[in-house]
Structure 1
């Protein structure tokens, strides 16, 4: 991505940024009382700190350390100084703990809401957003929001209060010298304005490169078996190195800009101390200013620039927060393309009411505008019918079942179950009716028991065991060390493809959908495992309307009806024998598969 494209990817209108900021701040509302307590703790901690130089000033100017009671006064002042230091420590400790608790609570709720929001998005959302980018949103961006509340907000409150109180103390000591110090404010303001745009650009570019780096890493880890099988390790390492270098370059640019910004304030602070020493020293020599006041002023001018420096050091975190906030806001404002009907218009059907009649009524569908995948397709499936769907790549087979599962909505026409348009059903109801077994069944990190019942505790162990016995998975599971309590790693590594499919078939029996979709579920299985899966398929298909997208034509030769698709339309349909007699597309596919097997 070019720098201009990268920049435009993060450009957000002021109105949207205001809405995004308001949305993020809404997470702090439930913690208003805690924030108020943090404010008071911060105030008392700062006040205790700032009283310490004033205490020394009193001791110097009132000549408390000389005379008959000098030792006694030293002890008293020392005890007071120690008490102030202790109070500052206690209040700072309480404030830090409260703020961390609030920050972690906020980010925990934010991550929960973000995951919930992403989980309800339509499949088109995941077509537009890479997994690596969404992982960055869920982990890194939410953590940056946490840093805003625990670091940036703390700095604004603590250091802002420090500046105000320091100015008040300086004016109480000597108004004229304090006015000289206030001349620094325009200089500080001008430096901040000069660096603002430069800093934001640097943070945005570095953030964008980090997101691309994480996305590249996630894709490569997911496809590591493919990389190794084609000996692409060196090529992918080279690409990763190039990506990493781009991130390093932008990150170093960010660091250089930040250092230049912060060091400008360091230089300004040192020049200010020198200015106060010169002006104040001349006043002390002229007897116009007491030495204790000058001592306190030097301490306060240092403490004046320290919070300013602290605030500027949080500038990079603030910039990262704004970028993360923009990214999260774009996710939160994304509405699913597939929407539930209004509650008063929704059609609710119980599983027992469903017969399983499916109709595709002259549907048109496109993933992209003006690029239709299905063209006025008309198909009607009887309750309990076993349908095989075949065709070459790009014929529209998967699109057909994606519409039935309502991962996408048709552009024209309708898909109905028992005469009811699926757009009129709540998605929760539809997904109880329609079950899906994919080519690569997904297994979670957890036990086999959890994976069959998908962590639904109300489904008993007896139901799970019965389902596994029915599909032929029980003996395989019992051979494992901890049988049903055997923990699987991500995606079920350690199990063969056939064993993972058997577990996914057991899920179907446990959840009992009325309509079953198998999306090329036997595409990558050997012939022996395929026979096991076919026997399991006969079990799970019994009493259900079943649609099987077949890569291996042997899987659907016993189907009640075979649908042959070509260019987004139904080209042929009939049973195996009828289609062979027609001598059309299906017969050619059969002939080709026989030649390949020979």
Structure 2
């Protein structure tokens, strides 16, 4: 245990250093808004001065006019007008100050979100293998919002409340240095209360936030898997678990609220005791004619205002802590680099157009594994002629999708190379490579938007007429015609409302629109019934004409008409040839085919 303490302290020091570095890094985003921040400081000075001069105006009215028996009304009217003017100035410049800080803060966070999303979109797929989408959404939404609070709340509080304290002390010493000195005796008590509450408030805040995060995660998980919950009749059990988490958050939230209330009331009590103390000391001085009554009034007003900025600054401690943690998480994302270095300089295709590439693909003694210790592909060598249709089959885990991921350059090989038209894919700029290779996956992803935007993927350079032609080419025009608004029909997330076959036809239309020279179909018909598969197969045949096509499939029937079938087994090529050639050999492929036929025969019996 003794050895763990220095280690824990070192870890905490590293975390604090990382958070401080992250805050400094994010302050770079504040530089373009320095005029707004200068304006905030200027407006704050005017607003605070106008606010704190008001008790001084009342002091003048009391001591110089009311207490000396003056019956002239015009000076009091002038002082009243000045008081009203100061109130309006305080209101006006407070409003401008808040507008400026919000413009700066929201502008900073808007640019931060933009840069963060752009950075995430450039990271390699291996990064997303390690990170959950929910966590990344939290970074983009929750963490950036917390950073926004740092600029709009913490920074504003430090400037406004810090200046307010300084101005109050200045006016108090101007009025009466002795009474101001007595007032400073309260500072140790204030510091003690703040120190006692700060650690406890931080713990209650963190406890509440962590339990809220668990509640949200549990809710999101259950909403996503509600079909499974209902299928196994687990509603009562899940509701019970939700109630447990909800009650836990309820208790933590009440604990946080009680802490805040106790802290605020402690400051209120201290403030009231301070007013009573100043009234007692000052009242005795007034009776002894050592202090003017107007000065005592102003002092009482300033003492009441003295605790507000201290309370506000202390309350911002939790926000500062949360912002530091959020900034650290965001900065770690920014420091995460893609494992795929995009340093390609060699173009492919006629006139540098990757869509006009010849489409010759070669795998040269490829070795690859998601971890170096566990290779998934071992010594794969393949030569694919332009325009060939290649079927890739094998059991789960044989390396089918891994092989194609290397061609798309979602990952890089540990040994060997993958070339297109004789050019190593690592030497091709990623933007060109992704234009040359088109991918249709088992679960086609549709975005929230119109049919047109989903086909052209929001690329405005592709005209609506080109989209319609593509849909007609793959046979999707009829289904679009049945939709209420045709091609302008707005789809919800993931294209809910469309069948699996209809979503797949939309993904084929994308291929026609973007015209890649190499087409990859990764289990594109695996989740379709036989009639829908036949419709999609016709579209597939239309799309693959003139393109080098790779078809990954579990079902042998999907690749039987391929020019060549590659049979993978345990990361190696077990066999290669046409369907008839492989069947004549009577090897591994023939056994796979016999097994698939046996499964098909057994299904009707079930």
**TM-score, normalised relative to structure 1:** 0.93
Equivalent residue number for residue 86 of structure 1: 88
- Contact 2:367–2:416, Cα closer than 8 Å, also in 1: yes
Superposition map of 1:136-535 within 5 A = 136-341=138-343, 346-349=345-348, 350=352, 351=354, 354-535=357-538
**Separation in 1 of the partners of 2:217 and 2:126?**
18
Equivalent of 1:26 in 15, 25, 28:
28
Deviation at 1:246, TM superposition (A): 4.4
**Secondary structure of 1:110's match?**
helix
> Which residue in the other structure is 1:59 paired with?
61
Instruction: Name the SS for the 1:368 alignment partner.
Output: coil
Q: How does 1:94-113 map to 2 (within 5 A)?
A: 94-113=96-115
Q: Name the stretch that deviates more: 521-530 or 394-403.
A: 394-403
Q: Check conservation: 2:394, 2:569, Cα contact below 8 A.
A: yes
Cα distance in 2 for residues equivalent to 1:503 and 1:40? 57
1:539 aligns with 2:538: no
Q: Is the 8 A contact 1:213 1:243 kept in 2?
A: yes
Question: d(CA) in 1 for partners of 2:520 and 2:131?
Answer: 26
Distance across 2 between alignment mates of 1:571 and 1:238: 52
Q: Work out whether 1:71 is the aligned partner of 2:73.
A: yes
CA distance in structure 1 between the partners assigned to 2:475 and 2:115 by the alignment: 40
Contact 1:61 1:291 in 2 (8 A): yes
CA displacement at 1:206 relative to structure 2: 3.7
- Structure 2 CA distance for aligned equivalents of residues 348 and 185 of structure 1: 71
Q: CA deviation at 1:284?
A: 2.2
- After TM superposition, the structure 1 stretch with the greater mean CA deviation from structure 2, 364-373 or 211-220, is 211-220
TM-score, structure 2 normalization: 0.91
- How many residues align? The count is 591
SS of the aligned residue for 2:561 comes to: coil
* Matched ranges for 1:566-585 at <5 A: 566-585=569-588
Q: In structure 1, the residue corresponding to 2:73 is in which secondary structure? A: helix
Contact map agreement 2:123 2:337 (CA 8 A) in 1:
yes
CA distance in 2, matches of 1:374, 1:9: 39
Q: CA deviation at 1:319?
A: 2.3
**Alpha-carbon distance in 1 for matches of 2:412, 2:184:** 64
Deviation at 1:189, TM superposition (A): 3.4
Counterpart-to-counterpart distance in 2, 1:253 and 1:408: 49
Distance 1:61 1:381 in 2: 100
Quote the offset at 1:25 in angstroms.
1.6
How far has the Cα of 1:250 moved from its partner?
A: 4.3
Distance 2:253 2:372 in 1: 38
Displacement, 1:559?
A: 0.6
1:49 maps to what in 2?
51
1:447–1:487 Cα contact (<8 Å) kept: yes
CA distance in 2, matches of 1:285, 1:530: 100
SS at match of 2:342: coil
Cα distance in 1 between the residues matched to 2:193 and 2:76: 44
Once structures 1 and 2 are overlaid, which stretch shifts more, 568-577 or 71-80? Answer: 71-80
2:436–2:518 contact (8 Å) kept in structure 1: yes
1:41 Cα deviation after fit: 1.3
Return 237-246 or 47-56, whichever deviates more. Answer: 237-246
Residues 105-132 of structure 1 deviation map (CA, whole Å, 9 limit, x = unaligned): 2222222112111111111222222111
CA distance in 2, matches of 1:361, 1:11: 49
CA distance in 2: counterparts of 1:157 and 1:16, whole angstroms: 25
Counterparts of 2:11 and 2:455 in 1: how far apart (Å)? Answer: 42
Name the SS of the counterpart of 2:376 in structure 1.
strand
The aligned residue for residue 555 of structure 1 is 558
Contact 2:398–2:568 (8 Å) recurs in 1: yes
Instruction: Work out whether 1:594 is the aligned partner of 2:597.
Output: yes
Give 2:604's aligned residue: none
Deviation readout 1:296-342 (Å, 9 max, x if unpaired):
1111111111111122222232222222212222222211122211x
| CA–CA distance in structure 1, aligned partners of residues 20 and 339 of structure 2 | 25
CA contact (8 A) 1:131 1:215 kept: no
Summarize deviations over 1:41-66 as a string: whole Å, max 9, x none.
11111111111111111122223466
Output one character per residue of 1:423-469: Cα deviation in whole Å (capped at 9) or x when no partner.
Answer: 22221111111111011101111111111111111111221111111
Give the root-mean-square deviation of aligned CA atoms.
2.5
Q: Contact conserved, 1:266 with 1:309, CA < 8 A, in 2? A: no
Query: Gapped runs of 5+ residues in structure 1?
Result: none
